[in-house]
Amino acid sequence: MIGGAIDSWLTHLSARKLQHSHGKSLPTRFIDTPVGAVRTYDSGSAKPCVVMVPDGPNVIEHYAALIDRLAQEWRVVCFDMPGFGHSLPQRSYTHSLDQGAQAVLGVLDSLGIEHTTLAFSCANGFYALRAAKLAPARVSHLLLSQTPSLAAMHAWTARVIPKPLRMPVVGQVAAWIFRNKAASSWYGAALPRTTDPQPLRMKALDALESGACFCLAGVVQGLAKEQMASLCGVTTPCTMIWGEQDRSHRQTDPCSLHACVPHAEIVRFADCGHFPDIEQPERFADVLMSRMTNGA
């Protein structure tokens, strides 16, 4: 709990020192959920709905091209999870599975969405899975990216995340101090060697300079306490897109997701890294819309 309090204090401190953002912003607003207010984009229509969340340090603006493509045929909602982007975390927010699911379901409640497809990536995929388990009637399909089993993610954390970030208090302070450096270096490791990381990197740094948060230590520590049993038993149709050029996950088996979602379909993007949804938005949209159409 003390880690959550420190994250909340530090992120609010950064937000009070807002600087002008030079990047083009999408029209958003803050909506209330049981675990705090979250920054949200909503294309707003009566069409079938897809809800997405950025994988930090990405923010809503990273999804502009994908949103434009999807909004031609669907209602698109995109929001920053608490502790990321401009959704500042409350003192009590510890990135647990249940709290993450409450954020997801709280957005659906606030926007009057009865059922939707959830398109989440990496660690956020676990919150989507938990939401689908808690409220199966409200989630028609899960489209995950770079979300293996929770056990595989724990192993990934041990390999990739520096030990200080896994320590309460020390991790929160270090993540805040080095948030710009961590965000900048992450794109170089997460993207294929043939992809220029600069456009994504600059958009993330611009967001951080305008008060966005990147509570990496908080989410790492929160999910480290969770067990696979909390995600087993999900019956919602599930597709996972896996970017095979993600060097951070070169030792991760994408099929490990079958340990908790045996029916999950694995679709491989051979030329993508950690962010197949924004690296190849057209192709990602095609997969997403085909699953939504089949489930409609």
Q: Per DSSP, what are the bridge partners of residue 144?
A: 120, 240
CA distances to 104, 154, 179 from 222, rounded to whole Å, are 17, 11, 18
How far apart are the C-alpha atoms of 246 and 14, rounded to whole Å? 31
pLDDT at 46: 80
227 neighbors 150 (Cβ within 8 angstroms): yes
In angstroms, the CA 61 to CA 278 distance is 10
Q: What is the pLDDT of residues 196-247, one digit of tens each?
A: 999 999 999 999 999 999 999 999 999 999 999 999 999 999 999 999 999 9
pLDDT for res 17: 61
Give the largest Cα separation in the chain, rounded. Answer: 47
Query: CA–CA distance from 74 to each of 46, 48, 67 (Å)?
Result: 8, 5, 9
The residue ranking higher by pLDDT, 1 or 96, is 96
pLDDT over 70 percentage in the chain: 97
Task: Specify the number of domains making up the chain.
Answer: 1
Return d(Cα 186, Cα 203) in angstroms, integer.
13
CATH of the domain at 115: 3.40.50.1820
Query: Residue 20 has what pLDDT?
Result: 47
Domain interval for residue 185: 2-15+24-295
Rg of the chain over Cα atoms, rounded to whole angstroms, equals 17
Whether 19 has a pLDDT exceeding 70, the answer reads: no
Q: Cα dist. 14→90, 212, 214 in Å?
A: 14, 8, 11
According to the model, what pLDDT value does residue 292 have?
A: 84
| pTM score | 0.95
| CA angle 68–70–72, rounded 5-degree value | 75
pLDDT-derived band at 18, boundaries 50, 70, 90: low
pLDDT at 22 over 50: no
Is 277 a residue whose pLDDT tops 60? yes
pLDDT at 296: 44
Position 15 scores a pLDDT of 85
Query: How far is 138 from 118, CA to CA, in rounded Å?
Result: 10
Q: Residue 216 corresponds to which tokens in the numbers above?
A: 């990496």
3-state helix, strand, coil in the chain (%, to 5): 45, 15, 35
Task: Report the candidate in 125, 128, 248 with the shortest Cα–Cα distance to residue 182.
Answer: 248
- Residue 24 pLDDT > 60: no
| Mean pLDDT rounded to a whole number for the chain | 94
Query: Which letter does DSSP use for residue 118 in this model?
Result: E
Burial label, 176 (beta-carbon count in 10 A; 0-12, 13-18, 19+): buried
Average pLDDT over residues 159-174: 95
Asked whether the predicted pLDDT for residue 295 surpasses 60, the reply is no
Residue 261 is encoded by which pair of tokens?
Answer: 């979602």
pLDDT tens digits, 99-154: 999 999 999 999 999 999 999 999 999 999 999 999 999 999 999 999 999 999 99
| Nearest CA among 231, 286, 290 for reference residue 261 | 231
Pick from 4-18, 52-66, 153-167, 216-230: least confident: 4-18
